Amino acid sequence: MSSLIPGFIAWPLTVCVAVFAVGRFLLFRDRIVDRLINRLYAWSAAAMLLYRFASMSGASGPVSALALALGCVVMATTYLYAIGCVRLSDIAPDTLRGRLRRCSLVALISTVAVLIAGARASSEGRPVDMSLAWDGIVIAIAVGAPAAINTAVFVRMVVREYRADDRTAAERVVGAGMILSMMFVWGTLLLSGLQLTTGWPQLGPHMPRAELAFTVGVVVNGIAPAFPLSMAFMRAVGLDREGRVCRRLDPLWRDLTAAVPEIVMHPAVDTGAPRDPATRVFRMTVEIRDALMHLAPYMPAGLRPLVESGGNPEDYAKRIAHAARARMTGIAPMYSTVASQSPIGGGDFHTDLEKLLDLAQAWRNLPTVLQARRA
């Protein structure tokens, strides 16, 4: 099969879609819609890869590769239908599974039909394509009918989501792109139908246009799930703002919680899922403040809160290190009660956080760090 997409463009797109699918499987698998999107892009990546094999000159079994690619296309549109059903109505999980089984069976039958028709066309010296021969008609119906129905349900869902009042400008742009990409797919199907029945317009083989329409649909519709995926990736590797704040606070937090371990707030139920970075920032801030209050009796007299101490976090860090060592080695505190006033002295969370970040930087610059065990 010839291709309208150059290899230097098609191969990177195929790899990107495959990586995208793997990333979603790793980071998004809790909700039903997430699992459906994951399977959608897995089948899409498989179809794009098989299209590449079918278009390679000298590749073994090009007919089978193209037929399998068409089957993967039908299977991918099956998950478009499922996503549309979930978003259009509160469908029960059992009902959804039943619909998916029926749609998957249709996709499997379509694939088998395309394989049989393709084998017959190849044996008679004809390409695997839509035509007025019986094998070409089978291919047209087996691929075109499920794709048209499934994408229609999906577009109906996208239009309803697009018309919602709470959509941002970026979401509306993405929604418009998804609708336009589906219209491009329908336009390709319509042109193929006209060419097949009337002989006009003369645009050459149908399968290269089908590959182009499918690739455009996958790439354009991949923009919407790419936003949460990219944000999740940023959170996973700690490149978001909260992740960077956690990294900056981490040495100070670990040393102070090692000196005052009783203030650590353990979750009631550990689900094993990654903690939300914003929640972790809040927790670290609270625990550092609590640790400083417990270390206050070990500090020299007359030590003012950090916000009132002339902006000298280096001196404050040295005093904290002295107090932490004293507490860890069992030296008696200078005072008998825990400080009633926050050692930070800020009036709100954001002010405290900025002061703690300055303190954490000064903590890193101490010539000798606290000898605490860091997990």
Per-residue pLDDT of 6-29, as tens digits, reads 999 999 999 989 988 898 888 887
292 exposure class (CB count in 10 Å sphere: 0-12, 13-18, 19+): buried
Is residue 119 very low, low, confident or very high in pLDDT (cuts 50, 70, 90)?
Answer: confident
304 φ, ψ (degrees, to nearest 5): -85, 160
Residue with tokens 């959804």: 96
What rounded mean pLDDT belongs to the chain? 81
- Among 8-17, 171-180, 266-275, 328-337, the range scoring the smallest mean pLDDT is 266-275
Residues of the chain with CATH 1.20.1070.10: 7-235
Find the angle CA(79)-CA(84)-CA(90) to the nearest 5 degrees: 115
Per-residue pLDDT of 221-276, as tens digits, reads 876 666 665 556 556 555 577 878 888 898 899 889 888 888 887 764 454 445 66
Q: State yes or no: pLDDT of 319 exceeds 50.
A: yes
Distance of CA 283 to the CA centre of its chain: 25
29 vs 52: CA distance, rounded Å: 29
34 vs 27: CA distance, rounded Å: 10
Q: State yes or no: pLDDT of 309 exceeds 80.
A: no
Residue 292's alpha-carbon distances to 177, 260, 339, in angstroms, are 53, 9, 9
- Output 193 or 244, whichever has higher pLDDT: 193
User: Half-sphere exposure of residue 290, counting CA atoms within 13 Å on the CB side?
Assistant: 16
Q: State yes or no: pLDDT of 171 exceeds 50.
A: yes
Per-residue pLDDT of 36-95, as tens digits, reads 889 998 999 999 999 999 888 554 455 578 888 998 998 899 889 888 888 777 677 778
Is residue 203 very low, low, confident or very high in pLDDT (cuts 50, 70, 90)?
Answer: confident
Q: How many CB atoms lie within 10 A of CB 334?
A: 13
87 vs 287: CA distance, rounded Å: 41
Distance of CA 79 to the CA centre of its chain: 17
* Residue range 7-235, CATH number: 1.20.1070.10
- Who's near 129: CB < 8 A, 6+ residues apart? 121, 136, 139, 205, 206, 207
- Output 215 or 124, whichever has higher pLDDT: 215
Q: Is the pTM of this model over 0.85?
A: no
For residue 373, what pLDDT is reported?
41
- Who's near 109: CB < 8 A, 6+ residues apart? 142
For residue 345, what pLDDT is reported?
55
168 vs 220: CA distance, rounded Å: 18
Contact yes or no for 151/77 (Cβ under 8 A)? yes
Find the angle CA(286)-CA(295)-CA(285) to the nearest 5 degrees: 15
Amino acid at residue number 109 = I
Amino acid at residue number 89 = S
Q: State yes or no: pLDDT of 301 exceeds 80.
A: no
User: Half-sphere exposure of residue 63, counting CA atoms within 13 Å on the CB side?
Assistant: 20
Helix ranges (H only) for the chain are 7-27, 32-55, 62-88, 93-123, 134-162, 169-198, 207-221, 223-236, 241-259, 277-295, 313-328, 349-364
329 vs 291: CA distance, rounded Å: 16
Q: State yes or no: pLDDT of 140 exceeds 90.
A: yes
